[in-house]
Amino acid sequence: MKRADHRGQTDITTDQREEIIRLLRQGEDLSPEWARVLFPPEKREYELLYHGKEREEDIIADTLAVPLQKARCFGRSTSSDAWQNKLIFGDNLQAMKSLLQAKRSGELCNADGTPGVRLVYIDPPFATKQEFRGAQDEKAYQDKLVGAEFLEFIRKRLIFIRELLADDGVIFVHTDWKKNHYIRAILDEVFGEARFRNEIIWWYYNKMQGNVNRFPSNHETIYLYSRGNTFTFNTEYAEREGGVQRLLKRKWDSKTKRLVNARDAKGALIYIDTDERRIDDVWRLSMLQPADRTENQFYPTQKPETLLAMVIESASKPGDLVMDCFAGSGTTIAVAEKLDRRWIGIDCGKLSIYTIQKRMLSLRANIGNDGPKLAAKPFTLYNAGLYDFSQLKQLGWDAWRFFALQLFQCRDQPHKIGGMALDGYLKGSSVLVFRQTEPAVRIDEETIRSMHEALGSRIGGRMFIIAPALAFDFQQDYLVVNGVRYYALRIPYSIIHELHQREFTALKQPSDEMAVNDTVEAVGFDFIRVPELSYETGSNRLKGGGQKQGYIRIKKFRSEAVVRDTARKTGNRETLSMVLLDYDYAASDMFQFDAVVYAETLENAGWEIRVPAEAIGDRMMAIFIDIYGNEAREVIPATKFGLTKKGEPRRIGAPTTRREKLLT
Ligand SMILES: C[S@@+](CC[C@H](N)C(=O)[O-])C[C@H]1O[C@@H](n2cnc3c(N)ncnc32)[C@H](O)[C@@H]1O
Least confident of 172-176, 302-306, 649-653: 649-653
Nearest residue (by CA) to ligand 1, atom 7, is: 302
DSSP 128: H
Would the CB of 89 count as within 6 Å of ligand 1?
Answer: no
Would the CB of 91 count as within 6 Å of ligand 1?
Answer: yes
Rounded Cα gap, residues 384 and 524, in angstroms: 10
Q: Report the separation in Å between the CA atom of 17 and the middle of ligand 1, taken as the mean of its atom positions.
A: 39
Nearest residue (by CA) to ligand 1, atom 4, is: 328
What pLDDT does residue 517 have? 74
Q: Report the separation in Å between the CA atom of 125 and the middle of ligand 1, taken as the mean of its atom positions.
A: 6
Would the CB of 96 count as within 6 Å of ligand 1?
Answer: no
What pLDDT does residue 186 have? 96
Give the DSSP H/E element, type plus range, for residue 392.
Answer: helix 389-393
What pLDDT does residue 636 have? 93
**Helices 350-361 and 331-338 meet at what angle, rounded to 10?**
20
Would the CB of 385 count as within 6 Å of ligand 1?
Answer: no
Q: Which atom of ligand 1 is found nearest the CA of 308?
A: 8
- Average pLDDT rounded to a whole number, residues 41-56: 79
> Which SS3 state, helix, strand or coil, does residue 24 take?
helix
Which residues have a Cβ under 8 Å from the Cβ of 453 and sit 6 or more positions away?
none
What pairs with residue 549 in β-bridges?
540, 612
Would the CB of 507 count as within 6 Å of ligand 1?
Answer: no
Q: Which atom of ligand 1 is found nearest the CA of 522?
A: 19
Q: In this structure, what are the phi and psi dihedrals at residue 463, rounded to the nearest 5 degrees?
A: -150, 150
- Average pLDDT rounded to a whole number, residues 463-476: 88
Going by pLDDT thresholds of 50, 70 and 90, the confidence category of residue 241 is low
- C-alpha distance from residue 623 to each of 271, 506, 635 (Å): 47, 19, 9
DSSP 302: P
Q: Report the separation in Å between the CA atom of 58 and the middle of ligand 1, taken as the mean of its atom positions.
A: 25
- The closest alpha carbon to 369, from 413, 309, 283, belongs to 309
CB atoms under 10 Å from CB of 656, counted, come to 10
Q: Report the separation in Å between the CA atom of 301 and the middle of ligand 1, taken as the mean of its atom positions.
A: 9
- The closest alpha carbon to 99, from 160, 14, 39, 36, belongs to 160
Domain ranges of the chain: 1-62, 63-384, 390-500, 528-641
Contact 539, 549 (CB under 8 A): yes
pTM above threshold 0.95 = no
What pLDDT does residue 407 have? 78
The rounded percent of the chain whose pLDDT value lies above 90 is: 44
Q: Does a cis peptide bond (omega within 30 degrees of 0) precede residue 492?
A: yes
- The half-sphere exposure of 281 on its side-chain side, counting CA atoms within 13 A, is 11
Q: Which atom of ligand 1 is found nearest the CA of 324?
A: 6
pLDDT digits 0-9 by tens, 243-257: 666 666 677 777 778
Does this chain's domain 63-384 share its CATH topology with 528-641? no
Compute the residue count for the chain.
Answer: 664
- C-alpha distance from residue 338 to each of 283, 365, 471, 640 (Å): 21, 6, 48, 41
Q: Is residue 524 pLDDT above 60, yes or no?
A: yes
Would the CB of 505 count as within 6 Å of ligand 1?
Answer: no
Give the DSSP H/E element, type plus range, for residue 118.
Answer: strand 117-122
Q: Which atom of ligand 1 is found nearest the CA of 330?
A: 9
Which residues have a Cβ under 8 Å from the Cβ of 170 and sit 6 or more positions away?
118, 119, 120, 197, 224, 225, 226, 227, 231, 232, 315
Best residue for ligand 1 mutational test, from 161, 312, 348 (most atoms within 8 Å of Cβ): 348
Of 3.40.50.2300, 3.90.76.10, 3.40.50.150, 3.30.750.24, the CATH number of 63-384 is: 3.40.50.150
Q: Report the separation in Å between the CA atom of 518 and the middle of ligand 1, taken as the mean of its atom positions.
A: 8
- Give me the sheet containing 576-582, strands edge to edge: 595-598, 576-582, 619-626, 631-637
- C-alpha distance from residue 554 to each of 363, 532, 547 (Å): 34, 11, 22
- Average pLDDT rounded to a whole number, residues 396-416: 85
Best residue for ligand 1 mutational test, from 176, 326, 352 (most atoms within 8 Å of Cβ): 326
Nearest residue (by CA) to ligand 1, atom 13, is: 326
What does the DSSP assignment read for 580-595?
A: EEES--TT-SS----E
The rounded percent of the chain whose pLDDT value lies above 70 is: 81
Would the CB of 531 count as within 6 Å of ligand 1?
Answer: no
- Average pLDDT rounded to a whole number, residues 601-622: 92
CATH number of 528-641: 2.60.40
Residue type, 85: N
Residue with the bigger pLDDT between 599 and 543: it is 599
Going by pLDDT thresholds of 50, 70 and 90, the confidence category of residue 7 is very low
What pLDDT does residue 646 have? 42
Q: Is residue 275 pLDDT above 70, yes or no?
A: no
DSSP 105: T
Best residue for ligand 1 mutational test, from 126, 344, 347, 367 (most atoms within 8 Å of Cβ): 347
Which residues have a Cβ under 8 Å from the Cβ of 637 and sit 6 or more positions away?
618, 619
pLDDT digits 0-9 by tens, 10-47: 567 888 888 888 888 888 877 767 776 776 665 567 78
- C-alpha distance from residue 495 to each of 63, 120, 410, 465 (Å): 17, 36, 14, 11
Going by pLDDT thresholds of 50, 70 and 90, the confidence category of residue 647 is very low
Q: Which atom of ligand 1 is found nearest the CA of 303?
A: 8
> What average pLDDT does the structure give for the chain?
82
